Structure 1
Amino acid sequence: MQEVITKILNKVGLHARPAKELVKFSKGIQSSVTVSYNGKSANIKSMMAVMALGAKQDAEVTWKIEGPDEAEVAQKITEMVTNGFGFSEEL
């Protein structure tokens, strides 16, 4: 299992567009990914669950990755967060 802690950089946090990108990403990986914030956890396959975490800008979230491609997935998630999930206008 890999565990990564990141800070959400998007001005509006983990809202619909980043959550949608996570769901899309989850379809191409073998590992299971859970994101946790403020005592709540969500599987990244569920857009609504990710949004329900309420992670705002500057929130520190924990990503737990378990599976055969966990090292690559951990690296990719870190890149996604750093790059604002592809929505650089929100940084």
Structure 2
Amino acid sequence: MVTKEVTIMNKQGLHARPATALVNTASSFKSDIFISRDDKKVNGKSILGLLILAAEYGAKLTIEAEGPDEEEAVNALISLISDHFGMGKNS
């Protein structure tokens, strides 16, 4: 299992569009992926689950993956989140 922490840096937080990008990326991997914030842990391949986290700007998320491509999965998700979900720094 691989676990890493990342901070939400886009100003709008984790709303529907970034959650969709995150799910699309997570779903491209075979590993089981979970994302948690505080005491909430959700399936990283579920848009509804991600929205339940209510992760606003500055929120810290923990990404866990377990499976054949766990390292690649976590790194891809960290990269996506760090890149403001591909929406630009002003988003």
Bin the TM-score by the shorter chain. over 0.9
Query: SS state of the match for residue 41, structure 1?
Result: strand
TM-superposed deviation, 1:40: 0.5
Q: 5 Å matches for 1:15-26?
A: 15-26=15-26
- Contact kept in structure 1, 2:65 and 2:73, CA below 8 Å: yes
SS of the residue corresponding to residue 65 of structure 2 reads: strand
- What residue number does 1:71 align with? 71
TM score, norm. by length of structure 1: 0.93
- 1:26, 1:77 → 2: CA distance? 7
Q: State the alpha-carbon separation in 2 of the partners of residues 84 and 72 from structure 1.
A: 19
The alpha carbon displacement at 1:77 in A equals 1.1
1:36-75 to structure 2, matched below 5 A, reads 36-75=36-75
Identity of aligned residues (%): 34
Matched-pair contact (CA < 8 Å) for 1:23–1:44:
yes
Question: Which ranges of structure 1 fall in alignment gaps of 5 or more residues?
Answer: none
Could you tell me whether the CA contact under 8 Å between 1:3 and 1:64 is conserved in 2?
yes
- Kindly report structure 1 stretches of 4+ aligned residues shifted beyond 3 Å: none
Do the aligned partners of 2:6 and 2:78 also contact (CA within 8 Å) in 1? Answer: yes
Q: Give the count of matched residue pairs.
A: 90
Q: Is the 8 A contact 1:19 1:44 kept in 2?
A: no
Q: Distance in 2 between matches of 1:2 and 1:49?
A: 20
* Partner SS for 1:23: helix
